[in-house]
Amino acid sequence: MIRVRSVWFFGIASAALFAAIAAYLAPLEPNILALQFAFTPRAFAQVVHAWPPEHLARYRAHLPWDFVLLGCYGAFGYLLASRSKLFRRYPRGVRRTLPWVMPLAAAFDAGENAFHGWLTELPRFGVAPAYAASALCSTLKWALLCAFTIAVVGTLLESRS
């Protein structure tokens, strides 16, 4: 019973934090996805300089909460994949890999957050690789989140048939 409760706890906490952060960041235009996929200093600056100072402050203020979110969704994915029977129909190799997909996405998210905290603190010149690394972390995070979602949806659809 404890196992099921922890999956539910982290799943609900992840959903609630995601919704709260999305609502908090909704006024930012361009939205944060534009910043997350800004591979060059110029693309990053175009987003940050489009925001008034209070929006940049809002973005920076969300980062500690995003670290809480990534901890929650990383734990949720690990627990769901390792403690439930949801993925029992997948081959053994996939079942052994799936518990690590969301924690790995969370690790890339943490890297993205660290880069964004540093890159938005003050203007950074001559560090183009940091902007690319930040966007690469974001890309890998989103790819892993999508892969896990596809695995869950595929399992649910398969179990219905």
Tens digit of each residue's pLDDT, the chain (161 residues): 556 789 999 999 999 999 999 999 999 999 999 999 999 999 999 999 999 999 999 999 999 999 999 999 999 999 999 988 888 888 899 899 999 999 999 999 999 999 999 999 988 888 999 999 999 999 999 999 999 999 999 888 887 76
Q: What's the CA gap between 20 and 25, in Å, rounded?
A: 9
Rounded Cα–Cα distance for residues 122 and 155 (Å): 45
The CA angle 30-116-121, to the nearest 5 degrees, is 100
Number of domains the chain is built from: 1
By C-alpha distance, which of 9, 139, 155, 138 is closest to 75? 9
Structural domain of residue 50, as residue ranges?
2-160
